[in-house]
Amino acid sequence: MNKNPIHDWMINHLKQKLSREYDEVKINLEGEQKHEFKGHYPDLILSNHGLELAVVEVETIEGITSEKADEWSRMVGTGPGVKLIIMIPRASKAKVIDLLWKKGIADRTAVGSYDLNVQMP
């Protein structure tokens, strides 16, 4: 059983949404290594006409660490012209931006955010 269903839910949500913009959207749910990108297994790989254009990493609050930022840095260094997109909880944006600057990859990384909003009557 997946320890973090929000992570996998977000990957599936993004796959559905991004399928309108990209010809092919490959996903690796938590713990899977089905689709490889130059030695890495990002959460999503986005392609058009057989050309890989972007990779997406979905993070939860617990997954935002210096070690994870090292992994992002290695991923950014693998493919010139390939964009790294990181999806994070909105409350973590300042922490992630700081990590990206410290690792020297802020200029090659796009950051998106998500917010879960539950309203009870």
**Per-residue confidence (pLDDT) for residue 49, from 0 to 100:** 93
Which of 47, 54, 62, 64 shows the shortest CA–CA distance to 109? 54
Low-confidence stretches of the chain (pLDDT beneath 50)? 1
**Per-residue confidence (pLDDT) for residue 76, from 0 to 100:** 82
Mean pLDDT value across the chain: 90
**Per-residue confidence (pLDDT) for residue 89, from 0 to 100:** 94
β strands within the chain, DSSP E: 24-27, 44-48, 51-58, 83-89, 109-114
**Per-residue confidence (pLDDT) for residue 2, from 0 to 100:** 58
Each residue's pLDDT tens digit, 41-76: 999 999 999 899 999 999 999 889 999 999 999 888
Report how far residue 72's alpha carbon sits from residue 106's, in angstroms, rounded to the nearest whole number.
10
Predicted structure pTM score: 0.89
